[in-house]
Amino acid sequence: MIVSMKQTYSLIALTALLSCTTLPKKENPTFHGCDFSFILTSTAFEDKTFSYIGSKNPKIKIHFPIYEYVSQVSENWIRAKKNGKFGFIDTDDKTVFIFQLSFASDFVNGHAVYRDGESRTDPKGYIDKKGNLLGDLYFEDAFLFRNGSALVKQAGKFGIIDTKGKFIVPPKYDYLSPLYENWAIFKRDEHQGLVSNKGVEKKFVHDEYEIKNTYYEGSVAFQRYEKTGMMDSNFKVIIPPNYEYLGLFHEGLVRFKLNGKWGFLDQAGNVIIEPIYDSEYDFEEGYAVVEINNQYGIINKQGKYLLEPKFSSIHSFSNGIAVVRENEKRGFINTNAEWLVPPIFEDLNSYHDGIIGYSLNGRWGIINVRDCIQK
């Protein structure tokens, strides 16, 4: 009888929460063909209230939150933190790498960056899923692998290694950007330009232009007298240096800042969305998160609001759903601006590869919906 009363109280509280939201709740919510209804219940113990999440759908596997943090899934492993140390769990919440690392990145190309020491300046290396140190090498700094190569820093210089730990581009650069499509921006002494992951250089010579940021989608940002423009991969100017900042092209549009406000340009430099926002993020799946007066919303590529800026935080869309925070709680919306999952979580990761990281009671756990994905 006591349990029933507590559950009744919890469901009443959930109903009250939903009635205060500014968005409609999707009727009969489904995702990947699965019933996506979650039930929040609460119990009281020693003057504390503990919340639990449940689902009537047997295909959805909810694992109890016991971690200080969990990342998104990468290569079927999830980085987690417990008792101040990092380790890894699999998608069934089983420990696959013991919690003993002071720092670790996600696994990419079979390797994760790790650091033994507590200081950010301690040497870093790469480990495989068996805990073997790549090439018995440590570096001053190390970055994630991408397409079989990774950027590292050694003796104050940057170079590029392969997945065997061998240098394919020697550490001789003062600066290297992360690799994209096998190219990176380099700076060495008075030289600048692009270098491939094979060490082939395309030098750029100009008395007034300085290459900035990262090579991405065939374009390179540059700066002239504190103003930013954009060039193509052959260093032809496609957007003149008229802006306080330019981001990277995503889905054919690039963020720009002018007179302290943000908007979007197309690849020809035309203003597609006027600079009226205090901040904004790149377009993902046809939508971008924007901010006005510390409130966040979502626009489409025509600049029309899917969500007006009324929310305290929003993540970009991932696989058709986005994390939105309202009333100090987080849930998922769909592209119809409906609550697919109402705001009942303390925190949420963006959905990725069938796994959701969630937080309740100050701890993180995972929800596995892979059995819902129609194959």
Per-residue pLDDT tens over the stretch 250-284: 999 999 999 999 999 999 999 999 999 999 999 99
Beta strands 175-176 and 363-368 are unpaired
| DSSP for residue 68 | S
pLDDT in tens, 103-123: 999 999 999 999 988 899 999
How many whole angstroms from its chain centre is CA 177? 18
| Segment (H or E) for 154 | strand 149-154
Backbone angles phi, psi at 67, to 5 degrees: -105, 160
Please give the model's pTM, rounded to 2 decimal places. 0.89
Instruction: Tell me the two tokens of residue 74.
Output: 């990468």
Q: DSSP E strands: which ranges in 301-346?
A: 305-311, 313-314, 322-326, 329-333, 339-345
pLDDT band at 375 (very low <50, low <70, confident <90, very high): low
CB within 8 A of 12, min separation 6: which ones? none
- What percentage of the chain has pLDDT greater than the value 70? 94
Coarse DSSP helix, strand, coil percentages of the chain, rounded to the nearest 5 percent: 5, 55, 40
Query: Is residue 161 scored above 80 in pLDDT?
Result: yes
- Check pLDDT > 90 for residue 141: yes
Alpha carbon separation from 108 to 74, 82, 149, 189, 203 (Å, rounded): 7, 22, 10, 32, 30
pLDDT at position 20: 56
2 pLDDT exceeds 60? no
Instruction: Round to whole Å and give the CA distance between 146 and 160.
Output: 11
Residue 295 has pLDDT above 90, yes or no: yes
Give yes or no for residue 33 having a pLDDT over 90: no
Question: What is the Cα–Cα distance from 180 to 146, expressed in whole angstroms?
Answer: 8
User: Measured between alpha carbons, how far is 161 from 173 in angstroms, rounded to an integer?
Assistant: 14
76: CB partners within 8 A, 6+ apart: 90, 91
Residues belonging to the chain: 375
User: At residue 156, does pLDDT exceed 60?
Assistant: yes
pLDDT band at 302 (very low <50, low <70, confident <90, very high): very high
Q: What are phi and psi of 103, to 5 degrees?
A: -155, 145
Residue 26 has pLDDT above 90, yes or no: no
When pLDDT is averaged across residues 190-218 and rounded to a whole number, the result is 91
The CA distances from residue 35 to 25, 62, 371, in Å, are 14, 14, 12
Q: Which pLDDT belongs to residue 11?
A: 44
H helices present in the chain, as ranges = 2-19
Residues 6+ positions from 47 with CB-CB distance below 8 Å: none
